[in-house]
Every structure is written in C-alpha cells, then in structure tokens.
Amino acid sequence: MREKVKVAVAQISPVFMDKEATVDKTCKAIEEADRGGAELVVFSETHIPGYPYWRG
C-alpha cells in the first residue's frame, strides 16, 4: 500500500458568468498540476457553478 499521494490545491477563480470558460481554465490547471506530478487536484466546492447563487 502506498503511503504518499501528491496533492495539488488549485486556488483559481472561476470566470464570472461563463461556465464554459471556467471549465477550460480548470482543465488547464489540472494539466499543469499533472505536469508537476500531482495525483489529485483539489478545487473549491463551488468552483464550477451552474448558475449564480444569488439568483437561486
């Protein structure tokens, strides 16, 4: 059993009111973390929102 996992924490902001651009930005962050050897990438809970929370 492995004892260590390399984790990357992505502290990036979503693109305001643009879900597709946010997904693209997220994919680039995942690719960058992969190049750095990360096996797990963590984003904030509501990083890719489906709609603005204030309009819910």
Record the pTM.
0.80
Copy the structure tokens of residue 50. 């489906």
Q: Tell me which of 2 and 30 has the higher pLDDT.
A: 30
Burial of 51 per CB tally in 10 Å (0-12, 13-18, 19+): exposed
Amino acid 9: pLDDT: 97
At 3-56, the pLDDT tens digits run 899 999 999 999 988 889 999 999 999 999 999 999 999 999 888 876 666 665
Q: Phi and psi at residue 40, in whole multiples of 5°?
A: -145, 135
Distance of CA 3 to the CA centre of its chain: 24
Amino acid 35: pLDDT: 98
- Rounded CA-CA distance 47/6 in Å is 21
Bridge-partner residues for 41, per DSSP?
Answer: 8
